[in-house]
Amino acid sequence: MKRTTIAAAAFGLALAGVASAQNEQFVPANFYWVGPYAPGGSGFGGGIIDYMQMLNERDGGINGVRLTWEKCETEYNNARGVECYERTKKHPPTGATVIHPLSTGITYSLIEKATADKIPVISMGYGRTSAADGRVFPYVFPLITTYWSQATVMVKYMGQKMGGMDKWKGKKLVIVYHDSAYGKEPIPVLTDMAKQYGYELTTIAVPHPGNEQQAQWLQIRQLKPDWVILWGWGVMNPTALKAAAKIAYPREKIVGVWWSGAEEDVLPAGSAAKGYISAGFNAPGSDFPVMKDIKKYVYDKGKGEFEDKARFGSIYHTRGVVAGIVTVEAIRNAQAKFGKGKPITGEQMRWGIEHINIDDKRLKELGATGLMPTLKVSCLDHEGSGLVKFQQWDGAKWKVISDWMEPDRKLVRDKVEADAAQYAKEKGLTPRDCSKEAM
Amino acid sequence: MLYREAGQFRSTYAEDQQIFPIRQDRIAMAALLVVAFVAVPLFGDQYWLSAILTPFLILALAALGLNILTGYAGQLSLGTAAFMGIGAFMAYNAMLRVPHMPILGGFIVGGLSAAAVGIVFGLPSLRIKGFYLAVATLACQFFVLWALNRVGWFSNYSSSGVISAQQIQLFGYPIVTPEAKYLLTLGVVVVMALAAKNLMRSETGRAFMAVRDMDVAASVIGIPMMKTKLLAFAISSFYCGVAGALYAYTYLGTVEPEAFTLDLSFRVLFMIIIGGVGSILGSFLGAAFITLFPIFLNLASKWLEHALGIEMSHAVVSNTEAMIFGALIILFLIVEPNGLARLWQITKEKLRLWPFPH
């Protein structure tokens, strides 16, 4: 009896604690800390939480509105991801501000639900590419850069290395991909570019989880391609690099997608990974001013997300920080429009994201020059940048080896609009007229 | 005391053979249905309806399908998720390609397509049994996923292989809200569970059980092996196919073939092992345990942290939940190898004597 009373009182107190805190902005942290993809989920999640924590400590939140979050374990599983979304979407005071699903599958499952609930989904560097057409997907934001943009930049980069795009004629390109929706996403773009530049494209699928790839790499040995694109995820990446080393395929000729380009992807391969190149939309490192602030205000006070300090400034960590920066900038925009110092709703957040404009000057103020590319989102363009950098593994750390590179915007945009139009037709949607949107 | 059948007399065969011969059971079942159909949609919030109850019902239907095959007819299968996948993708194609297709018609097409594939992959069961048959159905699992991934027609040539369920309507009423989706799922599941219960009490069901208990003896007394086994595969796959279609249309909305991996097959198999092999009720109890318990653990650890005011590392909490869940499964299997349905049966028998056991 007594115990129940105490428990009830404690529970009541906890509820009261939540209810009284009105000047808060809630951002769900639905990531994954267990399972085969935990390095990605915990790294990215750690980055975004660290950034929000730093803002709370350094500035006392955004114009006095403190950021709050709650972790929910999705296990990189669509069903659990939807459950987490439903659990967090009504969280006080204004419901979920924005969702980072951190899984292409979960993003797909949330597109309709979140649109109906008016909660923006930011799928930064993953998710449905054609959501870049904001007229058809008002609440979905594949920010910074999409898989299709990335594929065009990869082909461009390889062309540059060969001495010009005309050198592609008659060359052989192989893509080794994770056999899932994620892995198949770039193939239509690569096929189109093959027609344009005259290279021969071979697609080789690796079944999930990808810890057995001898057959695939034997095929590559026979083909002798000029370049290999590695479109992997999780354990598939180091396995591929080891298999490449076994057939002595030069690692300098393998270019990975950004989900194949973290420390966790190359370290298990040991020396086999040396020279391997990957794309990225964020740079690793702990010397950026924003990272120094996180160190000073969060880690030095013992509030950091990582117990293992070696992960500080790793690729996944800084990627999470970039996600945090984007989220916070959008909240700032929305506050400037709908009331400074007040929590905003999902609908207002959408306005905020559509008016993100992070130029070089703003990047400098944020202390993130070089960490991420410039970003300008609009109602029409939910990608906002498309810029990609390349980095090379030198055996101990990732070294950035290129400047921000432009994608083939026209090719990507045409395909995006075609795909979005087909989606709109299937669903019977009328695309928004962006010229009539409130500025 | 409350659960006493004294004074209830059955004077006709029909009364003796009804599904719930005891009056209290009938009342309890009616009350449960009223709660499920009326009270839950009225008072349940969106989180409960769309994130907890709908997936629970859908997986219970899949478990029911597997239970018909494994629990009643004794044929081990690891292809449940594949049959669900066929159901989902074929229902999508039926809705896409046939004009004015009603949604229930789409579900039936999904179920029938799964049944057809089930019959084909059930053929080996005429020659092999047990683990060897499980391996044959494993082939089905991989083949179907491969086909869904490779053959563009299934996903209407979507570049990523993902299908997105169309807007659905039932008798002109659009199924959009979580309440409507829940009610549609519930209706389908209730009708199909009732059909399964009656089927298992009929001649077909008895033939299934005879094959399960000893197939040589069953064929000696004149039960046709081929027809019975293939029928079991067909009915089971039909159930799984409809469950898959519901999974796409009333739950996730958008599915990729990867939603139906071997992992899901195993989860459904665990559901019937924990719930009770060869029991309709067991399918529901098992589905409840496997789908709801991890979520409950996840919520409970949050309440604990709040109540005790301690902060634990999230990775530790997540991993502990998985360990507790695993330990509980083992515990249940040791305490009651016949599953939760058997536990419930024992409770009922005890209740009939309570408070004066002899």
The whole-angstrom separation of Cα B114 and Cα B77 is 14
Token digits for B161?
A: 């292989």
**B253 in reach of chain A (CB within 8 A):** yes
For chain B, the domain total comes to 1
- At residue A70, the 3 state secondary structure works out as strand
A293-324 as b/e, with b when 16 or more CB fall inside 10 Å?
Answer: bbbebbbeeeebbbeeeebbbbbbbbbbbbbb
CA distance B226 to B231: 8
Tokens 């409950």 sit on residue: B296
Beta carbons of B259 and A78 less than 8 Å apart: yes
Q: Which residue of B has its CA nearest to A72?
A: B298
Least Cα separation, residue A435 to chain B (angstroms):
28
> What span, in angstroms and rounded, lies between the C-alpha atoms of A393 and A400?
9
Cβ <8 Å between A34 and B313: no
Cβ(A106)–Cβ(B250) under 8 Å?
Answer: no
In this structure, how many other beta carbons lie within 10 angstroms of the beta carbon of residue A18?
Answer: 15
Question: Which residues in chain A touch residue B243, judged by CB atoms under 8 angstroms apart?
Answer: none
Is A128 within 8 Å of chain B by CB? Answer: yes
Asked if the Cβ–Cβ distance from B167 to A427 is below 8 Å, we say yes
The answer to whether position B6 is within a domain reads: no
Residue among A229, A188, A227 at smallest CA distance from A206: A229
Element (H, E) at A185: none
Phi and psi for A286 in degrees, rounded to 5? -115, 10
Determine the pLDDT at residue B1.
60
| pLDDT score for A17 | 43
Token pair for A147:
């898989």
Say how far apart CA A258 and CA B200 lie, in whole Å. 53
Q: Round to whole Å and give the CA distance between A89 and A408.
A: 37
Full domain range(s) for residue B165: 44-261
pLDDT one digit per residue (tens) for chain B, 358 residues = 677 777 888 889 988 888 888 888 899 999 999 999 999 999 888 888 988 999 999 999 999 999 999 999 999 999 999 999 999 999 999 999 998 889 999 999 999 999 999 999 999 999 998 889 999 999 999 999 989 988 889 988 877 778 888 888 888 888 888 899 999 999 999 999 999 999 999 999 999 999 999 999 999 999 999 999 999 999 999 999 999 999 999 998 888 888 898 989 999 999 999 999 989 999 999 999 988 888 888 888 888 878 887 777 777 877 888 888 889 888 888 888 888 999 888 988 888 888 877 6
State the CATH architecture for A24-145+284-387+417-436. Answer: 3-Layer(aba) Sandwich (3.40)
Residue of B nearest to A13 (CA): B307
B321 in any annotated domain? no
Contact B264, B247 (CB under 8 A): no
Which residues make Cβ contacts (< 8 Å) with residue B327, sequence separation at least 6?
none
Query: Which chain B residues are closer than 8 Å to A7 by Cβ?
Result: 307
Query: Is A113 an interface residue toward B (CB < 8 Å)?
Result: yes
Q: Tokens for A184? A: 């198949």
* Token couple for B141: 């699992």
Distance CA B265, CA B272 (A): 11
pLDDT score of A295 more than 90: yes
Strand partners, A405: A388
Q: Rounded to whole angstroms, how far apart are CA atoms A47 and A55?
A: 12
Nearest Cα to B236, choosing from B29, B80, B13?
B80
Smallest Cβ–Cβ distance between A108 and the set B251, B254, B298 belongs to B254
Most confidently modeled range among A38-42, A91-95, A310-314, B84-88: B84-88
Looking at the complex, does the CB of residue A429 fall below 8 Å from at least one CB of chain B?
no
ipTM value = 0.84
Inform me whether the C-beta atom of residue B314 falls under 8 Å from chain A C-beta atoms. yes
Give the B window 172-191 contacts with A, CB below 8 Å: 176
Residue B344 in tokens: 């419930």
Task: Name the helix (H) or strand (E) containing A66.
Answer: strand A66-73
Residue among A99, A112, A204, A206 with most chain B CBs within 10 A, to mutate: A112
Q: Which residues of A touch B51 (CB under 8 A)?
A: 82-83, 85-87
Over 60: is that where the pLDDT of A21 sits? Answer: no
Question: Quick count: other Cβ atoms within 10 Å of Cβ A3?
Answer: 7
Q: Do B51 and A307 touch (CB under 8 A)?
A: no
d(CA A97, CA A81): 16
Q: What is the Cα gyration radius of chain B?
A: 21
- Helix B340-353 and helix B280-308, axial crossing angle in degrees, nearest 10: 90
Chain center to CA of A432: 26
Task: List CB contacts (< 8 A) between A428 and chain B.
Answer: 167
Question: From the list A83, A181, A307, which residue is nearest B160 (CB)?
Answer: A181
Chain B contacts in chain A segment 361-380 (CB below 8 A)? none
In a domain, B205, yes or no: yes
CB neighbours (10 Å) of residue B45?
Answer: 11
- Order across the sheet with A172-178: list the strands: A200-206, A172-178, A227-231, A254-256, A277-280, A389-393, A398-400
Q: Give exposure, B219-228, as e/b (b: 16+ Cβ within 10 Å).
A: eeeebeeeeb
A303 in reach of chain B (CB within 8 A): no
DSSP A429: P
Q: What is the mean pLDDT of residues A377-391?
A: 92
Tokens of A171: 């060359």
Residues of chain A with CATH 3.40.50.2300: 24-145+284-387+417-436, 147-283+391-407
User: Which member of A10, A113, A184 has the closest CB to residue B161?
Assistant: A184
Chain B residues 88-107 within an 8 A CB cutoff of chain A: 96
Measured CA to CA, the distance from residue A87 to residue A91 in angstroms comes to: 8
- Could you identify the residue written with the tokens 């069953």? B218
Strand, helix or coil for residue B120: helix
Beta carbons of A208 and B258 less than 8 Å apart: yes
B12 touches chain A (CB under 8 A): no
B314–A73 C-beta distance less than 8 A: yes
How does DSSP assign A12-48, residue by residue?
HHHHHHHHH--SEEEEEEEE--SSTTHHHHHHHHHHH
**H or E element, residue A392:** strand A389-393
Q: How far apart are CA A346 and CA A121, in angstroms?
A: 10
* Domain over A147-283+391-407 is classified CATH 3.40.50.720: no
When scoring B258, B267, B301, B316 by the number of chain A Cβ atoms within 10 A, the one with the most, hence best to mutate, is B258
CA A91 to CA A26: how far, in whole Å?
7
Q: What is the pLDDT of residue A425?
A: 87
Peptide bond into A209 cis (omega under 30): yes
Q: Are the C-beta atoms of residues B200 and B280 closer than 8 Å to each other?
A: yes
Q: Does B169 touch chain A (CB under 8 A)?
A: no
- CA distances A86 to A17, A44, A343, B236, Å, are 22, 21, 20, 31
Residue A314, pLDDT above cutoff 80: yes
**Is B50 near chain A, with CB under 8 Å?**
yes
Of B254, B261, B307, the CB nearest to A109: B254
Q: Do B51 and A83 touch (CB under 8 A)?
A: yes
Q: Identify which has the larger pLDDT, A57 or A426.
A: A57
By Cβ distance, the residue of B55, B254, B255 closest to A111 is B254
Say how far apart CA A295 and CA A288 lie, in whole Å: 11
Please check whether residue A86 touches B, CB under 8 A. yes
Residue A6 scores a pLDDT above 60: no
Q: Within its chain, how far is the Cα of B300 from the centroid?
A: 26
The per-residue DSSP string of B278-334 comes to T-HHHHHHHHHHHHHHHHHHHHHHHHHHHHHT----HHHHHHHHHHHHHHHHHHHHH
Residue with tokens 């695939």: A216
Distance CA A187, CA A229 (A): 11
* Angle at CA of residue B290, ends B286 and B292, nearest 5°: 110
**Residue A10 above 70 pLDDT?**
no
**Amino acid occupying residue A243:** A
Can you tell me which residue has the tokens 């391996």?
A: B135
Q: In the beta sheet, which residues pair with residue B175?
A: B168
B216 part of contact set with chain A, CB < 8 Å: no
- Exposure of B352 in the CB half-sphere (CA atoms within 13 A): 11
Judged by a CB distance cut-off of 8 A, whether residue B256 touches chain A is: yes
- Contact status, residue A238 vs residue A266, Cβ threshold 8 Å: yes
CA angle B92, B96, B98 (to 5 degrees): 115
Query: Which residues of chain B neighbour A112 with C-beta distances below 8 Å?
Result: 164, 253-254
B307 touches A at CB < 8 Å: yes
The pTM for the full model equals 0.87
Residue A15 has pLDDT above 80, yes or no: no
B323 shares contact with chain A (CB less than 8 Å)? no
Q: What is the DSSP string of B69-88?
A: IIIIT----S-HHHHHHHHH
